[in-house]
Structure 1
Amino acid sequence: MEETLISAIEYSVANHLQGNAVFLAERLHAHAKSETSTYYLATAYLNQGKAHQALAVLKGAQSERNRYLGALAAFRLGLFQEAEGFLVDGGLSEEGVGNVPNGAAGLFLLGMICKKLNQRERAIRSFSDSLKINPFLWCSFETLTAMGGDMDPAEFFGIDSPSEISQILPHVENLQINVPQPPLHKVTPEITLPQVAHKPKLHPTTPSIAKSIVKRIFESASTSPEEPEFLLKMNPIFDTKFIDKASTAVASPFAAPKPKTTEAEIPAKNQRKKPNAAPVKNAPGPVATPSGPKKLFEVPAASSIKQPQKNIPKAQPTKLAHQVDVMDIDREMNKPKTTQPTEQPQPLQPIPQIQQNLLQGTVQVLTLFRTIGEGLRLLNQYACSEAILAFQKLPKNQYKTGWILCHVAKAYFEMVQYVKAKQIFEEVRCLEPYRTSYMELFSTILWHLKEEVQLSYLAQQLTEMDRNSAGAWCAVGNCFSLQKEHETALKFLKKAIQLDSDFTYAYTLSGHEYISSENWDKATSCFRNAIRLDPRHYNAWYGLGMIYYSQEKYTSAEYHFRKALQINPKSSVLYCYVGMVLMEQKDYENALEMLTAAIQIDPKNTLAQFKKAAVLVSLNDLDNALLELTRLKEKAPKEAPIYILMGKIYKKP
């Protein structure tokens, strides 16, 4: 009965019948309460978005798989201390790994929990450890760089050639190869290693990191005594707050049903083999939040930057030749008996060719990750020009994708090249009109360029496509802000926060709207919330500096501007405002240094040029001041303050 119910549950989940899966899992749990039934019931609840019920069922669970599910449910509910308790039940080792369940996925979840608890160093260590266990866990690297970790991608994706990988692959002996049949729970075909008669041994000179890669990627998962092998068919659908790709073999519950096979296609008992390699999938990144100050008075604003979860393939249970899948009975009853296969089996590939294909595929994926990772690392360090060059090294079919182009557009945005950034976002809209991520950044670009019609059209498209997208409502807020309807803009930004309370960019935009209406207290609260969610969100530090600057609290303003500059040392705007604060404090020498640096970074920063001329006048360097104003007059011939300051210089004896 148990196997029948489990097969039916998997069929329901594979076909997105979550309500039916819950009903069947409840019947399984009522029939025999065990760690296995608890796992299936909690998984069904999580898939249906019922984290409270899942957590209640998992209270007191002991198996590693259920501890992981308990941590996942508690994390979704914001119970971070309880989530941590599920994961580190056995304590942590000196390396910080300890008895964390579910391998790399468990360490990634632990890193997310530590990030929420503001334990930055521990979070970074957890993300790094998860990548060392499974280098295909892209979400760990993405979160790691977003937290400011300046990690070399080669440290995690550094295998350069098939010969290097071949040194870390186990030796395959006594192989028996059959044409693999897609299991019930697989969505896409999986490359599997042949069954090995004897446990493989690595070469004595193989590095420890190589051994760990072999163990976690190329070996099949083992089962625990209380978790039978058939349990390894399922894995929960993970929350959109993070991406999971564990190395222990667990199958995707959102998978396609198993194709039928004829009797002739069923392999003999001594030829049967289990999946032995987890499918390598490229996971899109969590959710780094685009960010950027929305208004910088006369100066263009600087800005800064927040998926479905991947599941873990599981080992397929061994079936006897006479057994039939429970959900296939109806189709078998009407199927004529035959002893001849309907189609000839595919020719078997030679073992060296299978190994070679696996090696080449691994090299290609890791090389791709290394190139993308280098671009992302540079971008998060605000080395925007270098990041663009790194992304441009990608193959055309990878470069011309929404995720890559959005990051390239963000790099141009950080360099205040709004026209170029707009062009790239328009290309993204053509390539992937369904994309909503990073569109809040596109709306801010249109706000700066005063593109009212295009901004209104973008906001309408995004809300029609996904009314539950926080970024879409940020675009609507920007649309009304451009029309000077600040109260209406704030209503839509509050809706964005209601949809996603962790969306840092919505708090930043709200803070700038409050600045526009001179509501300093609420603006301060918004910026502090943004910093609470992301301490590296330099736009929030900049926003607080703007508030104190407007209140003539220059010491506090300098502190916050310098905090922002520490995070983003490539911002001409931040150098300019630090120089302006020093100028107000009559520290003219240091002010001149900061303003000169701002102009060197962005020669088009007219505010920095004007303030530099004013500092030169204060230092009685009238000739250089007049020269600076003459250059500035050519760039902004209709700005009255330039002529006023020039008149004051000519008036002096």
Structure 2
Amino acid sequence: MAPAGPQAQVVQQFRALIWEYLDNGLLDSALFTAERLHAYDSKNPDTVHLYALCMYRNNQYRQAEALTKGWQRHVGCAYVFAQCCLKLGGGRETLAISSLEACKRSWISITGWSQHTDTERKVLPGASAVYSLLGKLHQSINDQKKAMECYVSAVKINPFLWEAFTGLCDTGVQLRVNNIYKQSSEMIEAIKNHGPSEEPVSRLRNTENQPDPFTAHTSHSRERDLSNPTSSSFLNRLNESSGATSAAAHHLETPTAQPAGSHGFDLLGGANGNGVAEKPPPISRKTRAATVELGTRRLGSRTTREISQESKRPISSSQEAPPAPARRSTRLNTLKFGSKGTDRLGTRDRDREKEREAKKRAVSTRSRTVQMSGTGLFTKEQRGTSEDTSMIDVPSRGTTLPPAPKIDTKREEAQLYLLDLYKKFANSYFCMTRYQCSDALQFLMTLPSAQREAPWVLCQIARAQYEMANYSEAEKTFLKVRQIDPVRTKDMEVFSTVLWHMRKDVDLSFLAHELMELDKTSPEAWCALGNCFSLQRDHDQALRCFKRATTYNPKLAYAFTLQGHEHVSNEEYDKAMMSYRSAMAADPRHYNAMYGIGKVYEKMGQYDAAEKHFKNAAKINPMNPVLVCCVGMVLEKVRDYHGALKCYNAAVTMAPRSALSRFKKARTLMSLQQYQAALNELKVLKDIAPDEANVHFLLGRLYKALHDKPNAIKHLTIALNLDPKASHLIKEVLENLDDEDDDGYQEETSEYYKLMDGDA
């Protein structure tokens, strides 16, 4: 139990000091003070949570894990414990998931909206943060389905939780991003002018002892809604069932922002297992009598007291309950029109005087009721305005009531701006995860100029250009990032790969040197250094660098893939396969690793397995022409030329400037003896890659087949000058120009094809 009396003041002072130190980054002081607090009040779970939080922020993950292990029922302790398990790994993720699920009742209804400001905080995590952490834990153990469900729940509650959205995209689920970034009922409620805060931000609602504020309505509000079916609260509850959808039912469905009154309703305990809002139970006689008594007490007149006494008289089992007294508005109307009751009470002037006095009392009563509604005990519907005069009297002319909450227009404009901004970022990121690079660039170009110049956005642009094989533009964009943020290491492994493809060994060496100077523990720096050695064909040294990168970040799938490429260069296919599979374990949607496995199977002559993995890689990245070409290459090697030609046509359609796609298409057309079509492709290819020896060699072979001896000699001579290493093969073709037998076509050209295939 929490301490009381002077001891409570001591604890409060300790906590204030600790939060001050944490907010100002004074971790040593925070940890020292938290240890003093734990020694003073070690049996308080809030104390344990604060002490463990200080340890976690000080990177003492094992100590924080050991401290919180026995406090799984406390939300804060379970959250810190789960964070430590995620950092430490080693099979701890399952324990972390169990600890968060064990205290689910304590965090499931905490949305966190409008509870954090520059000066106030919510100490314990809300549902969106916990769901996001659960998604990471499930993803860490490769449970993609559960991870997706958790991320969906987190995004439905808080679409601004960026890591939950990116985690959801990384699972490969299909989304309608625009439906996520819409105003929900919680957002609208958060920007209303409620005056003073309804409850202290640092105070956590005890959901185990209090009814759910989204479903538990008092009999007072139920009777009012049923008596007035046109009221907004009554219609809202009828409409709640249409928008409630459980997260588990989504699977590959789209998480959408729910309409007002139902956004995330199923996550907050307001719906049954079928996703339909439960109907309120029927109103009992006791409830109705209590409601009438409450309403009549507010009148405060002699007639009110008499009615109240009559409602308390006992009722025998054989006697039915008396009918409910007429509403006060009905009695006032009776008095006004001069019925018999008016004659018994006196003159009309006397009645009007009593009526005015009753209205004044009702105004004071209603003022007290509105003040009570600000304590957080009433739901949104109960705090709203009602026209039901049996519950709240209509004030007389000249009196004013506290105004109903109104939308703060400035806060609403800010919220809509954020929604629109995040929607653009989300659309671009979603397109990038689907490798729709052109669409991603279009979304990024719609951002405000200040946002477009941010390092993260520029890196996304450079990544899109890299995936589109536009290496020169990607290099320019990455150089701009280096100017704006010269100490940035994130995403620099992609920049090093761009320089590797462009064969810029000096620039690559300079980049690796800079990154190593910045941070020798950065995995991106070791990847850049490994690419530098790889470009110099020092594969063993490159392997050491890539292995060091995976030591610093075991989840960096790209480093494992680079290891595999180096093993393939050394013809160590078993080791290459292990590296590629490690990359797939780190990221199941890493298409480069899937492509690497296909290349290994292809080199081992297992063409069926190679075709399967190339197709799987193409499913992940359907916009990459190289992957489509790889499928065609396998079909070509099993002499399925028509199937290969379909793949090459698709690749050329995707990337008309792709030299690889056109080269392979022309080669397949020659195998099908469609020489004129092959010649058209090679003429275009000669303009794209004029200094490529393979292109001129293939043109020489084609002109030989067309009996155009001068052009054949011309292009074979150019190929000989561009590639002296293959002079013996080129001279052999030159010597046999007059030979009609072309059976040695595949064998003679294999040396050139190997080079082009290796560039894939």
Note whether the superposition's TM-score is higher than 0.5: yes
* Residues 201-240 of structure 1 aligned to structure 2 (within 5 Å): 209=258, 210-211=260-261
Question: Offset at 1:416?
Answer: 0.5
Q: Distance in 1 between matches of 2:663 and 2:438?
A: 26
Task: Find the aligned partners of 2:536 and 2:524 in 1 and give their Cα distance.
Answer: 19
Give the match's secondary structure for 1:508.
Answer: helix
Q: Name 1:235's counterpart in structure 2.
A: none
- Number of the residue aligned with 2:575: 522
Checking the alignment, whether the CA contact within 8 Å between 2:186 and 2:263 is kept in structure 1 is no
Match of 1:71 in 2: 82
Between 16-25 and 473-482, the greater mean CA deviation after superposition: 16-25
CA shift digits 1:256-292 (9 cap, x unpaired): xxxxxxxxxxxxxxx9xx999xxxxxxxxxxxxxxxx
What's the CA shift string for 1:599-631, capped at 9, x where partnerless?
121223223222222222222323322333343
- In the alignment, residue 156 of structure 2 is paired with which amino acid? K
Is the 1:527–1:540 contact (alpha carbons within 8 Å) kept by the matching residues of 2? yes
1:552 and 1:56, CA in 2 relative to 1: closer, same or farther beyond 3 A? same
- Indicate which of 105, 108, 122 corresponds to 2:146: 122
1:18-29 to 2 correspondence within 5 Å? 18-29=27-38
Q: Choose which of 388, 395, 400 in structure 1 pairs with 2:441.
A: 388
Deviation at 1:642, TM superposition (A): 1.5
Q: Does 1:621 align with 2:674?
A: yes
1 or 2, which has the higher helix percentage? 2
| Aligned-partner Cα distance in 2 for 1:170–1:650 | 77
- 1:44–1:537 Cα change, 3 Å: same
Match of 1:135 in 2: 159
Task: Give distance in 2, aligned partners of 1:451 and 1:565.
Answer: 29
1:613–1:354 Cα change, 3 Å = closer
Answer yes or no: is 1:531 the counterpart of 2:580. Answer: no
The answer (yes or no) to whether the contact 2:503–2:535 under 8 Å persists in 1 is yes
Distance 1:31 1:167, change over 3 A: closer
Amino acid at match of 1:71: A
Shift of 1:39: 0.6
Say if 1:133 and 1:212, in contact at 8 Å, map to a contact too. Answer: no
CA offsets 1:381-439 (integer angstroms, 9 cap, x no match): 11111111111011111111111111111111111010111111111112222221111
Q: Given the alignment, which residue of 686, 702, 714 partners 1:646?
A: 702
Counterpart amino acid of residue 144 in structure 1: L
Partners of 2:75 and 2:103 within 8 A in 1:
no
1:30 is matched with 39
* 1:22 to 1:176, Cα distance in 2 relative to 1, 3 A: closer
SS at match of 1:473: helix
The one-letter amino acid of 2:596's match is G
Counterpart among 438, 445, 453 of residue 400 in structure 1: 453
Deviations 1:552-604 (A, max 9, x none): 22111111111100111111101111101000111111110001111121223
CA distance in 2, matches of 1:599, 1:631: 12
What are the within-5 Å matches in structure 2 for residues 171-320 of structure 1? 172=193, 175=195, 209=258, 210-211=260-261
Residue 181 of structure 2 is aligned with which of 146, 149, 157?
157
| Alignment partners' CA distance in 2, 1:451 and 1:50 | 42
The equivalences for 1:545-584 within 5 A come to 545-584=598-637
Residues 522, 65 of structure 1: CA spacing in aligned structure 2 closer, same or farther, 3 A cutoff?
A: same
Q: Which residue matches 2:344? A: none
Structure 2 distance, partners of 1:529, 1:593, is 33
Q: Is the contact between residue 384 and residue 414 of structure 1 (CA under 8 Å) also seen in structure 2?
A: yes
How far has the Cα of 1:84 moved from its partner?
A: 0.8
The question of whether the paired residues in 2 share the 8 Å contact of 1:26 and 1:41 is answered with yes
Name the counterpart of 1:49. Answer: 59
The whole-number CA distance in structure 2 between the counterparts of 1:449 and 1:212 is: 54
The CA RMSD over aligned residues, in Å, is: 3.4
1:30–1:555 distance in 2 versus 1, CA, 3 Å: same
Please state whether the residue corresponding to 2:644 is helix, strand or coil. helix
Name 1:449's counterpart in structure 2.
Answer: 502
Q: Deviations over 1:477-498 (max 9, x none)?
A: 1112111122111111111111
What is the 5 A alignment of 1:429-448? 429-448=482-501
User: Which residue identity lines up with residue 67 of structure 2 in the other structure?
Assistant: V
Q: In structure 2, do the counterparts of structure 1 residues 91 and 14 end up closer, same or farther at CA, with 3 Å as the change threshold?
A: closer
**Residue pair 1:134, 1:213 contacting (<8 A) in 2 also:** no
**Structure-2 change in CA distance of 1:354 and 1:171 (3 Å):** closer
Give the aligned residue type for 2:632: G
Distance 2:495 2:567 in 1: 21
Q: Is the 8 A contact 1:158 1:370 kept in 2?
A: no
- Find 2:11's aligned residue among 2, 9, 13: 2
1:97·1:126 contact (CA, 8 Å) conserved in 2? no
Q: Match of 1:428?
A: 481
Change in Cα spacing, 1:212 to 1:40, as seen in structure 2 (3 Å) is farther
Structure 1 residues 588 and 425: alpha-carbon distance in aligned structure 2, compared to 1, 3 A threshold: same
TM superposition shift of 1:526: 0.8
Structure 2: segments with no counterpart, 5+ residues: 1-9, 112-123, 203-217, 222-230, 244-257, 267-370, 377-402, 708-739, 742-760
Q: Secondary structure at the match of 1:544?
A: helix
**C-alpha displacement of 1:13:** 2.2
Amino acid at match of 2:417: Q
Pick the aligned partner of 1:358 from 411, 432, 442: 411
Distance change >3 Å, CA 275–CA 377, structure 1 → 2: farther
* Cα distance, 1:91 vs structure 2: 7.2
TM-score (norm 2): 0.61
Q: Which residue of 1 aligns with 2:517?
A: 464
Tell me, which stretches of 5 or more residues in structure 1 are unaligned? 184-198, 217-270, 277-349
Alignment partners' CA distance in 1, 2:614 and 2:490? 29
Does the 8 Å contact 1:538/1:568 carry over to 2? yes
Which amino acid in 1 is paired with 2:705?
Answer: I
Per-residue deviation, 1:465: 1.7
